[in-house]
Amino acid sequence: MKSLLATLALTTALTLPNLAMARPVTLTTTLNNYGGDGAYLALYVTDASGAYVGSLWMAGDKSKYYEHLTDWYRATGGDAAEVNGITGASVGAGRTLEITLDLADALFDAGYTLHIDAAVEDMRDSPNEVSVPLTTEDAGTLARGRRYIANFAYDM
């Protein structure tokens, strides 16, 4: 019994610091009924100076269309390696994309901004549709999009 408690204490002590460094964050993006094909969406982060830090999600699996996500493309050169392992299908009009990611705590309250670029075949490209500061205080707050995105929120 004593050894079990000791094991528990030890594993808890070893696990907690890891838990404190990252947390599951759910990013919810709801699209308007814009009446077109599925939207390509690039979710990415810039730092306090506006420099690209990295991508969080790419909705749309064909890299040949990424040039239409214009701000993301300019920052990354369209490098598909930026979104390896964080890519899924494009999102249909009126649908809601819900992604849960294990994100570093250091991302919040440190001047980072989350952006979403959107593009739809045969319709106008829409870079920086959403731009929200990543703060623990703003978690759960709905941000409005401009063209294809109705709203976006992150929850933790």
Partner 1 sequence: MRKTLTALALAALLPAGAALADNDDNDCSVARSQWQPRDAVLQVAQDNGWTVRDFEIDDGCYEIEGRDSDGRMVEVKLDPATLRVIEMEYEDDDDRGGTRNPSPAGTVSPPQNGLFGNGTPPQVQVN
What residues from 78 to 107 belong to the interface with partner 1 (CB under 8 A)? 78, 80-89, 91-92, 95-104, 106-107
Phi and psi torsions of 108, nearest 5°: -100, 145
CA distance 122 to 120: 6
- # of chain residues touching partner 1 (CB under 8 A): 44
What minimum distance in Å lies between the beta carbon of 79 and partner 1?
9
Pick between residue 101 and residue 138 the one whose CB is nearest to partner 1.
Answer: 101
Provide the pairing of β-strand 39-46 with 87-88: unpaired
Structure token pair of residue 63:
């890299």
Pick between residue 91 and residue 143 the one whose CB is nearest to partner 1.
Answer: 91
Q: How far is CA 105 from CA 13, 16, 30, 127, in A?
A: 19, 13, 25, 27
- Rounded to an integer, what is the distance from CA 3 to the centroid of its chain? 43
Over the window 103 to 132, marking each residue x when it contacts partner 1 by CB under 8 A and - when it does not, the resulting string is xx-xx-------------xx----------
What minimum distance in Å lies between the beta carbon of 6 and partner 1?
25
Report the amino acid identity of residue 33.
N
Pick between residue 68 and residue 143 the one whose CB is nearest to partner 1.
Answer: 68
Torsion of CA 23, 21, 83, 53, to 10 degrees: 120
Pick between residue 4 and residue 139 the one whose CB is nearest to partner 1.
Answer: 139
Q: Interface residues with partner 1 (CB under 8 A)? A: 18, 21-24, 45, 53-58, 61-64, 67, 78, 80-89, 91-92, 95-104, 106-107, 121-122
